[in-house]
Amino acid sequence: MFTLLYKKDAVVVAFLIGIFIFIRSVNFQQHLNFSQEPASHAMDTHRLWSEKKIELIGPANSFQFNGRRIFQSSIGYYFMMLFLVPAGFEPIASSYFFMLFCAVSLIPLYFGTKMLLNKNCAVYMAILYALFPFYIDFTRFFWYPNFQLALSPYILLAMGLYKKHKNPLWLFMTGAGCGALILFHYQYLLIFIGLFVHYIFFKKITKKHVVYFALGVIIGLSPHILFEVRNNFYNTQTVILFLQNYKQVFGKNGGIPFSMHYILNPSLFIILIALSMVKKKIHNVHIVVLFIALFVLSLFLYLPTPSHAYGTTKNWNFLDEKRVYEIIRKENLNNFNIANLGYDTVAVVQKYLLKIDGISGIFDDYYHNEYLYVISDTADFMKKTKSYEVTTFAPSTLITKWNINDTYDLYLLKRE
C-alpha cells in the first residue's frame, strides 16, 4: 500500500516537474534576465573561482548613508558557482541549470507540504509553484531572492519531517536553513520571525527543542557572525546608523519603496497558511481547475516571443547583448571601453562576457580610452545623454555603426 501511494506521488511530482521545465524552456533565451546585477554577481563569482578564494563579504544593498552600506554575505557567489562552473560561466546554459535546480525543488516542496498539511494541499502548492506566472518569472534567472525561493522548499521539508517524527534534529535543520537563507538577502528575516513565533508561541516546543532551533540559526548565520566579529560589527553599526537617519536613508516619505520580490519568499509561507485553513475543502476538482487555468494562462503569456527580457528595458534581451559582444570581439581593438545607454551605462554584461573570454582592459577608466563603443537608440546620443561615460569622450569621431535590433544600434567612436 505504501509503495503504491509513493508511486502515485512520484508520478504527480514527475509530471509537474516536466510541466515546470517545459513552460520555462519556451523562449528561454528571449526571457532571460542576465542584466547588470546578475552579470555583476557572476563577475565576482568568476573572480573567486579563478583565484580559489574564500570571502565572507558579498554585495551591498542599494541603501546608503554617509558612504556606508549594509553588505550581504558572499554565500550567493558560491551558490552561483554550482551553475556557472559546469556551464563554463556561459550565461544562458548556467541560468538554464539554475532553472532545472528550481524544478527539482518542487520535490521537497511537495513532500514538505504533504507532511505539514495533506496530499491535496501538496498538489495544489506544487501546481502554483510550477505554473503561477509570479514564480515562472523568478525561477529563470540569477538573483539572490530567486535563490531563496529555490531553497525555501527544503525549509518546508525539514518542517514537515519535524512534524512527522518530532526529532529535534529536523528543527535544527530548519533553523540552519533559515539562517543560511538570511545570508542571501535580509528579507528572509521576516520568515525567520514568523517561524520563531510559530514554534515558540503556537507549537510551544520544549526548551530543548528551542535550543536546537537556535543553534541551527546560529550555525546558518555563522559566516555573517564571523564577518561582524572580524570587522568591528560593521553591518550592525550601519543598521543603527540607518535607523537613526531613517528618513534620509529611505526617502523623503521615510519609507522603503515596494518591490514585488519583497513578497516572493513570504508568499510560499502565506500560501501554506491559507491552505491550512481550507485543507479539508480542497478536492480533486479544485486541483484540476487550477491546473487547467494556470496552464492555459502560461501558454498565453509565454508562447509568444517577448519583445524584451523579463525585468529589463524594452526591446532588449541577452541575445542583443551577445550580438554586441560578438561584434566587439571580432573588431579586436585595444584600449577601448563600452557604454550602454539603454539601461546600464557601464555595460557590465559586456565586460563580464569579455572577462570570461580572457579579454582584459582598464574598463573602470572612461577618461583615457582611445575607442568607445556606445549602445544607443538614437544617433544623437552625444547631445542627449548626461552619462559621463559618453560625455567625457569628446571630441571624437564616429568610425562605424552596427544595427543590433529595431531599436538599438552599436556605435564605435575614436577619441580625437
| Residue 148 in grid coordinates | 531563496
Distance CA 300, CA 181 (A): 34
Could you tell me if residue 313 is inside a domain?
Answer: no
What is the C-alpha to C-alpha distance for residues 228 and 66, in angstroms, rounded to an integer?
20
Domain identity same for 190 and 259: yes
- 280 and 334 together in one domain: no
| Distance separating alpha carbons of residues 182 and 58, to the nearest angstrom | 13
- Mean of the per-residue pLDDT values of the chain: 92
Contacting residues for 296 by C-beta, under 8 A, at least 6 apart: none
Q: What is the DSSP string of 304-317?
A: SPPSS-TTS-TT--
Q: How far is CA 286 from CA 116, 236, 281, 292, in A?
A: 20, 48, 9, 10
Whether the predicted pLDDT of 84 surpasses 50: yes
Residue 312 lies in a domain: no
Report the pLDDT value the prediction gives residue 374, as an integer from 0 to 100. Answer: 97
Residues 253, 380: one domain? Answer: no
Residue 219 and residue 335 in one domain: no
Please report whether residue 203 resides in a domain: yes
What pLDDT band is residue 257 in, cutting at 50, 70 and 90?
Answer: low
Type and span of the H or E element at 237: helix 234-244
Considering the domain architecture, whether residues 247 and 376 belong to the same structural domain is answered as no
Tell me if residue 337 falls in helix, strand or coil. Answer: strand
Main-chain dihedrals φ then ψ at residue 259, nearest 5 degrees: -140, 145
17 shares its domain with 81: yes
| Listed residues 257, 274, 302: the one ending a domain | 302
The verdict on residue 309 lying in a domain is no
Assess if residue 57 is contained within a domain: yes
Residues of the chain with pLDDT > 90, as a percent, come to: 80
- Could you tell me the pLDDT band of residue 74, with boundaries at 50, 70 and 90? very high
207 and 346 co-located in one domain:
no
Instruction: Clarify whether residues 325 and 193 are in a common domain.
Output: no
Domain co-membership, 223 together with 328: no
Same domain for 288 and 204, yes or no, is yes
Measured over the CA atoms of residue 81, residue 83, residue 88 and residue 92, the dihedral's sign is negative
pLDDT at position 251: 67
Is 369 part of a structural domain of the chain? Answer: yes
- Structural domain contains residue 310: no
Question: Do residue 283 and residue 329 come from a single domain?
Answer: no
Number of helices (H) and strands (E) in the chain: give both, helices first. 20, 6
Confidence of residue 256 (pLDDT cuts 50, 70, 90): low
Q: Which tens digit of pLDDT belongs to each residue from 29-61?
A: 999 999 999 999 999 999 999 999 889 888 888
Residue 255, pLDDT score? 54
User: What integer is the mean pLDDT of 123-135?
Assistant: 97
pTM here is: 0.93
Which residue has cell 556557472? 84
> How far apart are alpha carbons 413 and 416 in whole angstroms?
9
Q: Are residues 261 and 158 in the same domain?
A: yes
DSSP letter (8 states) at residue 385: -
Q: Determine contact, residues 142/98, Cβ cutoff 8 Å.
A: yes
Domain residue limits at 14: 2-302
Reported as a pLDDT band with limits 50, 70 and 90, residue 221 is very high
Domain boundary among 267, 302, 337: 302
Rounded to whole angstroms, how far apart are CA atoms 168 and 166?
6
Q: Is the pLDDT of residue 196 over 90?
A: yes
Phi (first) and psi of residue 58, to 5 degrees: -125, -155
**Whether 102 contacts 142, CB under 8 Å:** no
Domain end marker among 278, 302, 326: 302
Per-residue pLDDT at 208: 95
Residue 307 covered by a domain: no
In sequence order, what E strands does 82-139 have? none
CA distance 351 to 364: 10
Asked if 409 and 393 touch (Cβ cutoff 8 Å), the reply is: no
> How many domains, the chain?
2
